[in-house]
Structure 1
Amino acid sequence: MQKQSTETLEPAEQQAAAKKMMLILMIGMLAPLFDTTITNVAIDTLVREFSTSVSTIQWVMTSYLLALGMVIPITGWAVERFGGKPMWLFSLGMFLFGSVLCSLAWNVESLIFFRTIQGIGGGLLMPIMQTLGVRAFRGQNMGKMMATVGLPALLGPILGPVLGGLIINHLNWKWIFLVNIPICIVAIIMAWKGLPNEKRGTRTLRLDLLGLMLLSPAIVLIIYGLGEVSSTRGFGHAAVLVPVLAGLALLAVFVVYAIRKENEALLDVRLFRVRSLAVSSILLFLSGLTTYGAMLLLPLYFQQVRGESVLISGLLLVPQGIGMLLTRSLAGKLTDRIGSRPVVLAGTMLTLLGTWPFTQLGADTSYYFLSAALIVRGAGLGAVFLPVMASAYIGLSSQQIPHASSTTRIMQQIGGAFGAAVIAIILQNEYNSVMSHDPASVAVAFDHAFIWSIAFSALALITAAALPRIKR
């Protein structure tokens, strides 16, 4: 029996159907989120298994991100052209196929290629999930909906490093990718049976090929260039400047082209005239400076200064994820009740408060103290992401939602790449400036890097004041 579209249900039934849909989509998102964190902690293991260098293995992560950047711009068109359910099943299938191929890789070159197939599936999943969720809830209870959407993103950082540590310590490297298979299979079965079939209408929308040839390479070049920062140790190196500037140039050409193309453009850049989406996009970019930057700093501190293993480092990061879970539901409810601005401002202040102790790090700082700080920091991050995402869709029509989902995802990815690149350079410069490389001196380098992270959070605090005052 075909599932009835949520558009034809009564309000109470529609809310129940929307919640069921979000649960199904949430299961599907677990695989790519776990995969990202597990692969990140497995770099040293892959270096040994393939007898290669860290710079080469880094392409296992970079190829995934580049493929992801390539497909995000077509998400809005694909959902409108083929429908949300078919595209969700296709994306899960591609991610499953890529995972199987990765586990069968016979050398590092084949692994890098197979990761691009994974990236195609992974890049489509999050914006499709956001599009289907916003449509299912019909713009109501956006805070609660985003709390559901954001749950997999919270579980990934909590369970991913721990699961990755267990796999690395006790199983073959192939299980880094094989662990995705059962999750994907369950998610595909649930989606096939449980997701509603949308009204097909007349999906004759043509793909904007010229826009695709401008926007996708622009995103890829920017992400690639920023990814080269850590290996070249500076933004002024040609390996960084050439791709980033080329990407920015293509992006500028696309913006001019899209404005003239209007409704037929791959991405509707006119949406940035909507204040809520424009401010939310800036905040999502800035969140990359704080969230992804800290994701780089925290495990490095535990491993380089405190000498902890990958597994222990992952366990020490769990308090931040717990803090995010603690505020997830409350942030969603408050966003629906009082609007996003006060929730984001309070969450940013909590993030600043929880990050400050890490500017005072030493070689023997109490783990109890750091765990308490991570809980506070996580609580702040959990209270920021959800209302910002909810604000992005205020005042948008059903046809504009896929474009908004792609836009927010692009801003997150570029912001994350930029944040990791900036923090990597800051840490490297601070590390080079210390007189000796004993744990106490290295800890000072981390202190200074976290001060920069606080400065970026302060920028987000200023921007958050521009969010809409009233609730949806």
Structure 2
Amino acid sequence: MSGGPASGDVAPSAERIDRQLMRVAYILVLGTFMASLDATIVSVGVDALAEEFGASVAEIQWVTTAYLLAVVAAVPASGWLAGRFGGRRTWLVAVGVFLLGSVLCAVAWSVTSLIVFRVVQGLGGGLLPATGQALLARVAGPTRIGRVISVVAVVPLLAPVFGPMAGGSILSVAPWPWLFLVNLPIGLAVVLLARRHVPAVPPSTRRTAFDLRGALLLSPGLAVLVYGLTEVAHGRTLPAVAGVAAGLAMLAGFTVHGLRTRLTPLVDPRLFTRPPFGAAALALLVLGASVFGTMFLLPLYFQTDRGLSAWEAGLLLAPQGLGAAVGSVLVNRTIDKVAPRTLVVTGVGLILAGTVPFTQLGHQLPDAAIVTALAVRGLGMAMVGAPVMNIVYSRIEPEQLPRASGALNLLSTVGGSLGTATLAVVLQSRLSARGPDIASAFADTFWWVFGFCVLAAAGATRLPRTQAGKP
């Protein structure tokens, strides 16, 4: 393999961030960005897809839901796959599966086939963030991961912002298949660059059997729970109750199995009781609910109450992406100098401050206040994700990185999924209660987002005061 460092245990002794390491980081982050961006690009094209296939709203929403459920189902297996087959190989296969799903979606002939192909796409997309982060952490080593991960952590914050604008732009000049075909040139470039520059990290020396029983309980349990909450939002009582009850029962069963099994569980429940992983997990779970929940609520508010187009709504959301980019630079320069808890608590405080104005939407909040609040939220969100991941990655054995990364990404994904589904239920209830006062219904719902942030703050106060290896 030309252009990259030697394979093997590649943790460096030097702390310098060299050009090769940043090249690896940008290649891996491009793959993650492709998958994250596609999820929001397609959400903008739901109306066009419904018209193309003559589908009802209830049918076409499964184009988004199926992808989400596939992502949730795929994430738990990422740690085992990377440990068994190696990080780079798993990541490249995930890119290939995502691209295959993209091509199949572009040639779909019915809404049913499109939903099935979105599942294929989601399985690949779900593996990319966790395997990419674990691979990058292994290449960078514990002394450099903090600064490098700040580049990667900003991606989930930018994708929901730029997705609507990208989707609106594509549909203004090209037919709907290009919502999926746009992934091909990016994905092919990523594969070629990764094969040349990303080092091949060997599989774990501890070969463990795949936790089949755990997989049959955890992934379907999460998917069924998200499905149940989605049905609550649509007002379908029977499938909602059945989905939530079945999902919770399967997750409870997985927890019992994980505590009792002699095998290595897919996700070890005991991991969440070990400091600082438990506090980090809570912070990421609630942050995911806040970030993705807000990105669900605001475009809907802009388009239903203010009458903006998808493009205009995306443009109004752009300041959050700019704030996140500024925050990423700030974190990159301070993450090795400032206590992780200080960064995270400050970030959560900024998110809280940026959320308060949205609880006042019923008072005709001016655009300037919205733009400022989003920029503050973006700055705060960038100050949470990277430090939390740095805390975990710098304190864990290299061979455990894939499973830890899978667990963290699972929590972020589940937080986003459950948070969005919960806020959809709350919003539906408040719209019914408020009647024509749409803005006040959204304002009421944002108090729940504020509550999520308060929970994240509680978790952040339990993070370590010092960096790993320092008194």
TM-score range, shorter chain: over 0.9
Partner of 1:465: 461
The superposition leaves residues 384-436 of structure 1 with CA deviations (integer Å, 9 ceiling, x where unpaired) of: 2222222233421122211111111221122112211221122222211225x
Shift of 1:70: 2.1
Q: Is the 1:134–1:142 contact (alpha carbons within 8 Å) kept by the matching residues of 2?
A: yes
Are residue 451 (structure 1) and residue 447 (structure 2) matched? yes
What is the CA deviation profile of residues 18-72 of structure 1, one whole-angstrom value per residue up to 9, with x for unaligned ones?
3322121112122111101101111111111111111111111111122222222
SS in structure 1 of the partner of residue 467 of structure 2: coil
Match of 1:139 in 2: 142
Rounded Cα–Cα distance in structure 1 between residues aligned with 2:423 and 2:55: 26
Letter in 2 for 1:365: L
Q: Is the 8 A contact 1:6 1:136 kept in 2?
A: no
Residue of structure 2 equivalent to 1:209: 212
5 Å matches for 1:176-195? 176-195=179-198
Residue 24 of structure 1 aligns with which residue? Answer: 27
Deviation at 1:364, TM superposition (A): 4.8
1:359 aligns with 2:362: no
- Please give the TM-score of this superposition, normalised by the length of structure 2: 0.93
Counterpart Cα distance in 2 of 1:431 and 1:460: 27
1:6, 1:14 within 8 Å by CA — same for their partners in 2?
Answer: no
* Residue 61 (structure 1) aligns with: 64
- Could you tell me which residue of structure 2 aligns to residue 7 of structure 1? 9
Matching of residues 253-292 of structure 1 within 5 Å: 253-262=253-262, 264-292=264-292
**C-alpha separation in 2, matches of 1:389 and 1:262:** 28
Q: Cα offset for 1:140?
A: 1.8
Residue identity in the other structure for 2:428: Q
In the alignment, which residue of structure 1 is the partner of 2:166?
163
Moved more, 244-253 or 275-284: 244-253
Per-residue deviation, residues 339-365 of structure 1 (Å, max 9, x unmatched): 221111111111111111112225753
Aligned length: 465
Which position in structure 1 is the counterpart of 2:421?
Answer: 421
Residue of structure 1 in register with 2:53 after alignment: 50
Q: Which residue of 1 aligns with 2:315?
A: 315
Change (3 A) 1:220 1:200: closer
Residue 106 of structure 2 corresponds to which residue in structure 1? Answer: 103
TM-score computed with the length of structure 1 as normaliser? 0.93
State the partner residue of 1:433.
433
Aligned partner of 1:338 in structure 2 is: 338
Match of 1:37 in 2: 40
Instruction: Report 1:404-415 matches (<5 A).
Output: 404-415=404-415
Mapped contact 1:30–1:152 kept (Cα < 8 A): yes
Alpha carbons 1:84, 1:132 under 8 Å: kept: yes
Identity %: 39
Distance of 1:223 and 1:95 partners within structure 2: 22
- Deviation, structure 1 residue 369: 2.3
How big is the shift at 1:200? 5.1
Question: Is 1:442 aligned to 2:438, yes or no?
Answer: yes
Contact 1:7–1:14 under 8 Å retained in 2: no
Choose the corresponding residue for 2:94, options 73, 91, 94: 91
Uncovered stretches (5+) of structure 2, i.e. residues with no partner: none
Q: SS of 1:347's equivalent?
A: helix
Q: Secondary structure at the match of 2:398?
A: coil
Mapped to 1, the partners of 2:333 and 2:260 lie a distance apart of 40
- Alpha-carbon distance in structure 2 between the residues aligned to 1:8 and 1:105: 43
CA spacing shift, 1:140–1:9, aligned 2, 3 Å: closer
Contact 1:286 1:457 in 2 (8 A): yes
DSSP-derived class of the 1:451 partner: helix
5+ residue gaps, structure 1: none
Task: Choose 49-58 or 248-257, whichever is displaced more.
Answer: 248-257
- Counterpart CA distance in 2 for 1:102 and 1:120 is 13
1:221-278 Cα offsets, whole Å, 9 max, x none, are 1222222221127xxx332232222222222222222223355322233222321111
1:72 and 2:75 matched = yes
Q: Contact 1:142–1:336 (CA<8 Å) still a contact in 2?
A: no
Question: How well do the aligned residues superpose, as a CA RMSD in angstroms?
Answer: 2.0
- Give, in whole Å, the separation in 1 of the partners of 2:203 and 2:288: 37
1:170 deviates by: 2.1
> Contact 1:288 / 1:418 at 8 angstroms: preserved in 2?
no
